[in-house]
Amino acid sequence: MSQGELSVSVEELRELVRDFARREIAPHVRKWDETSFFPQEVFAKLGEMGLLGIMVPEKYGGAGLTYRHAIAAIEELAAVEPGIALSVAAHNSLCTGHILAYGSEAQKEKWLPRLATGKTMGAWALTEPESGSDAASLRTRARKVEGGWLLSGSKAFTTHASVAEVAVVMARSKDVPGPAGVSAFIVPLGSPGVVRGKKEDKLGMRTSDTASLILEDCFVGEEALIGAEGEGYSQAMAVLEGGRVGIAALGVGIARGALEAAVAYAKTRKQFNLPLTAFEAIRFKLADMATQLDAARLLTQKAAELKDQGLPCGRWASEAKLFASEVAVKAAEEAIQIHGGYGYTRDYPVEKLWRDAKLCTIGEGTSEIQRLIISKELIAGGGA
């Protein structure tokens, strides 16, 4: 399927991605997880399909589709291999999304065609060793010099830091504390002064590359600045809002994968000469998993619809991300419980889904941060 053929309905796209995931990814999941392997060939194919530029306009080489298409694709990938789904979500919403939303026309023309087709993988560097949830306290510096900027500092937990060719990097360009001093820069990762640091040995999402980045007087030209100086933090917060919709879809996919695995196992596993599905305790677990999954999907779809309409969705995105990520953890845990002792082994997929799910409650804003955002909007708005 070529990129131009991706002008399809949401459900048609869902079927295309589901077939691809089962054919190209499912047979390799266990091996890739064990070795923390980033499957470059799979991402090349995803790029050819248009899935690495789902929301990028066609004039920049993208598929020109919607958030609703994006969340369907992410869910289908996540139900099979959450790490790959995470990388697709991050590539679309963070680096690519930041340039699409705030880049100049020259920046868009230079980078988006390469990012949207997967010829270039993108990273997005906000988090630092000493600043996670408190992103406004970042310490990476951007010093103005003749012809551009010198960037120095360290970034942590950066998706694609080992494999990307370009990153959007947030750095403090003004000597003032807090958000006002932060600017965003496009940094080619082959530039002098860029050091790719330690690749993280993670609990889950092991097929998604995560590493640190070190910048040692890395020079970028004046054209690398995205938007105006001092706008980087506000840009980053808006980018994260869209990213949370993707993480919500990731949680939905994990929860669905766990439910499907639990139902299949419960139908075939027998105790006391009866399948597990004959026992009320198991049936109630499955019913709760299905209900929570459907609620998470509806929240995620609502947030995606608001994004597609260009309407404010900060609270909806946070609610979707919060609920879906915690549903994913719970669904995977219940799937393990239904599998019993076998669920605790690597011979069945549910222990991996449990490990993968936990990241959803941490990345792109922890569950605690989502609750702060939701409550802040509630209080400011005077109610529901």
CA distance 84 to 248: 15
CA distance 68 to 10: 7
CA distance 182 to 204: 31
Is 58 one of the catalytic residues? no
Structure tokens at 9: 């309905």
Structure tokens at 66: 């919607």
C-alpha closest to that of 212 among 229, 195, 197, 190 = 197
**Amino acid identity of 237?**
M
Q: Which helix or strand (DSSP H or E) is residue 82 part of?
A: helix 82-90
CA distance 235 to 233: 5
CB count, 10 Å around CB of 384?
A: 4
Q: Under the phi-then-psi rule, with left for phi > 0, alpha for psi from -120 to 50, and beta for the rest, what region is 282?
A: alpha
Q: Select which of 24, 364, 368, 377 is catalytic.
A: 364
3-state secondary structure of 210: strand
Structure tokens at 177: 């504390």
Q: List, in sequence order, every residue forming a beta bridge with 187; answer none if it has no partner.
A: 167
What residues are annotated to the active site? Answer: 364
